[in-house]
Amino acid sequence: QSVLTQPPSVSGAPGQRVTISCTGSSSNIGAGYAVQWYQQLPGTAPKLLIYGIANRPSGVPDRFSGSKSGTSASLAITGLQAADEADYYCQSYDSSLSVWVFGGGTKLTVL
Amino acid sequence: QVQLQESGPGLVRPSQTLSLTCTVSSVSISSGDYYWSWIRQPPGKGLEWLAYIYYSRKTYYNPSLKSRLRISLNASKNQFSLRLSSVTAADTAVYYCATMVENEGDYFQHWGQGSLVTVSS
């Protein structure tokens, strides 16, 4: 059971907007620790997508954006493309467990 | 661009010790820019952070696995390594080495391609 809770799956049609939620608690997201997002294409290593809640590394399209409110964070993807079909993971630090934690992952299907 | 490459046996017997090495390219492991980390992913499951080592040889382990983990660094070879003792089938996973950055949040910036380790007799 992951400390950060994500929906197992989301889907959307090409061109649409989808959001993926990441629900934490007062010992991680709610404590002010930053949230990161990673994209894992099938059979590959995770790739950093968003860091520090809403910052994009160089090369990541601005179709990807992050936000945070209270004990939850969200990843939004606009203008969905077939190439976006992947697993997405949120990540933060948990002060109760004293460890960096990941969400259980969300599989994005582009219809 | 920082590149990471894991290497090690793909099969480990139960109760034995799993050993993996990560070879770093394009940056000195002694630069102080990153915390050198290991993360694993059991087949079909999520990600679990295991440990990190800094160039100063400061280490930090996942408390749930601390008693079985050892991370080390070889600056002359620009490599860092992980050892996990007393393995069971539950330790079967893809093991990734990664760089962790402490800036605007602790995030894993660069990843190796991963090394699948199967624990089986």
Q: Which residues of B touch A97 (CB under 8 A)?
A: 63
Q: B117 near B109, Cβ under 8 Å?
A: no
pLDDT tens digits, A68-99: 999 999 999 999 999 999 999 999 999 999 99
Close Cβ partners of B5 (under 8 Å, ≥ 6 residues apart): B22, B23, B25, B112, B113
Whether A96 and chain B come into contact, CB under 8 Å, resolves to no
Position A8 scores a pLDDT of 97
Q: Is the pLDDT of residue B104 over 80?
A: no
Position A30 scores a pLDDT of 96
Can you say how many angstroms the Cα of residue A30 is from the centroid of all Cα atoms in its chain? 16
pLDDT tens digits, B39-92: 999 999 999 999 999 999 999 999 999 999 999 999 999 999 999 999 999 999
Closest CA to A31 of A4, A70, A5, A80: A70
Position B14 scores a pLDDT of 97
pLDDT tens digits, B21-43: 999 999 999 999 999 999 999 99
Interface test with A, best of B48, B65, B107 (most A CBs within 10 A): B107
Local confidence band at B100 (pLDDT 50, 70, 90 cut-offs): very high
Interface test with A, best of B2, B40, B47 (most A CBs within 10 A): B47
Position A79 scores a pLDDT of 97
Local confidence band at B102 (pLDDT 50, 70, 90 cut-offs): confident
Instruction: For chain A, list residues with pLDDT below 50.
Output: none
